[in-house]
Structure 1
Amino acid sequence: MATKVTPNRPTKKPVKKETRSFMGKLSRILFKVVLWFFGISLFFVVVYKFVPVPFTPLMVIRTIQNIADGKENSFSHDWEPIENISINLQKAVIASEDGSFLVHSGFDFKAMQKAYKGNERGRKIKGGSTISQQTAKNVFLWGGRSYFRKGLEAYFTLLIEFIWGKERIMEVYLNSIEMGNGVYGAQAAAEHWYRKDATDLSRIQAAGIAAILPNPRKFTATSSSSYINNRKTKIMRVMRTVGKIKY
């Protein structure tokens, strides 16, 4: 009678003590990094609810680019409280950038879905970023389209919606975004394009500034191209539907 031989099964090698120790240390480090990130991000969001934003990452990036290219580094950025910014400009950016700003919770899912379907068909459609998302990106993050950065953008958008509220988001947005080559914020834009204060902007002037926001370094609010003039007309038409702004 033949003897059945059972093959030796490979035994699992025990995890070395040094490996377990390394993984434990790595986990603790990652936990501390995440904890510090949440703490620091929450701290700055709370601070900027009350304190003007002195500069944005984009301003720093533009400064570095100008230095690297040997260009003169000059930019204008004057903070103004929202009561000193024309209601016309507030309506213009809502009409141009985010029609549901006053009612959404930070994200316009309909616009995002429309942009996604349009991009699938090869049509160039605005990505659906709300004013809240743009504010979060401008104040706390850098440009780019990676999933990691978009995830951080969503995180900061939720924070500012919850902690700041709509009026503060609009105030920071209008004081921080690029509105011309080296021009940041409503007051600097009003002075640069129309030689007046932000509080005195007319409907057509506000529409002119809002019209160039997709690419403020390429387009001009005055002596504009036919494309920008058409955008101004459309924005002014939509502004009539915005109605009274209640934050």
Structure 2
Amino acid sequence: MAKNQSSSSFTWADARRLFFKLCITLFLVSVLWVLAYRWIDPPVTLHMLSKRSEPSPKNQKTEQIQYKFVELEEMSMQLPLAVIASEDQLYLTHSGFDFKAIRKAFETNISSKKTVGGSTISQQVAKNVFLWHGRSYLRKAVEMYFTFLIEVLWGKERIMEVYLNIAEMGDHVFGVHAACQKFYNTTPDKVGRQQAALIAASLPNPIKYSVADPNGYMLRNRRRIVRNMGRLGGTEYVKNWLQWKK
């Protein structure tokens, strides 16, 4: 009996040590992964791969992902200003989370059939770069963990740069370079305020809301975004924050 108790005690202790080592390994791997993307541009995301494997919603065989990473300094200042005005006006002041918006979205989702999100730009980057799409408490918890990491290890400029490059902006279209080429036949550095605001207006659902064929909702949303861009202080707001190198 004593021998069996000793064996059982050893097994549980060994399991605890193994679990602890696994946790440390996962932590180190995640930190190294995030650190690598601080300087290395993401070559692809899980969401891009999932889109690549499915046909176009319009029954076209357009499976090629349009994506090219460009630096923040190669973009018009209207682009980061527009997505901040549209998606996350507290972006420069929060630490990755807008808890008021999260609570409001949670209460709305409980009381209504309509599902709304309360994610910040930082949370969207964490989800799109490191995680899978879906709705579960586990994925949300891991998303919060990666959001904390990128806020600490990347900083606001890098988070915005990655966001503007990997956000879905149309059918198989990812990032501002591909969006500007496809919808405006130009480069991101030549985009104006109205064009940037229309791209931002599509972000809640870039498949439903097309920049190429904007509906009434998108046009109203664009006007709202343009007003918010002005209220924030225009491009000077972004220029002062980013210390633009142009």
By the TM > 0.5 criterion, same fold?
yes
- 45, 53, 57: which one aligns with 1:56: 45
Counterpart in 1 of 2:26?
A: 37
SS in structure 2 opposite 1:129? Answer: coil
Aligned-partner Cα distance in 2 for 1:162–1:120: 32
Question: What TM-score, normalized to structure 1?
Answer: 0.88
Pairwise CA distance, 1:27: 2.0
Which stretch has the larger CA shift, 118-127 or 168-177?
A: 118-127
Q: Pick the structure with greater CA Rg.
A: 1
Q: Is the 8 A contact 1:132 1:161 kept in 2?
A: yes
Please state whether the residue corresponding to 1:241 is helix, strand or coil. helix
Name the CA distance, whole Å, in 1 between partners of 2:145 and 2:129.
13
Pair 112,14 (structure 1): closer, same or farther in 2 beyond 3 Å:
farther
Q: Percent identity?
A: 42
Q: Distance in 1 between matches of 2:7 and 2:85?
A: 60
TM-score, normalising length: structure 2: 0.88
More helix by proportion, 1 or 2? 2
The 8 Å contact of residues 68 and 177 in structure 2, kept in 1 or not, is answered as: yes
- Is the 8 Å Cα contact of residues 208 and 222 (structure 1) preserved in structure 2? no
The corresponding residue for 1:218 is: 208
Check the 8 A contact 1:190/1:197 in 2, yes or no.
yes
Deviation at 1:26, TM superposition (A): 2.5
Q: Is residue 138 of structure 2 the alignment partner of residue 148 of structure 1?
A: yes
Cα-to-partner distance string for 1:125-150 (whole Å, 9 max, x where unaligned): 63210000000111101111211111
AA in 2 matched with 1:139 = V
**Which runs of 5 or more structure 2 residues have no equivalent in the other structure?**
none
In 1, the alpha carbon distance for the partners of 2:160 and 2:166 equals: 10
Aligned partner of 2:63 in structure 1 is 73
How far has the Cα of 1:120 moved from its partner?
Answer: 3.3
Q: CA, structure 1 residues 15+226, in 2 after alignment: closer, same or farther (shift >3 Å)?
A: farther
Q: CA deviation at 1:57?
A: 1.0
Structure 2 residue corresponding to 1:139, chosen from 129, 133, 140: 129
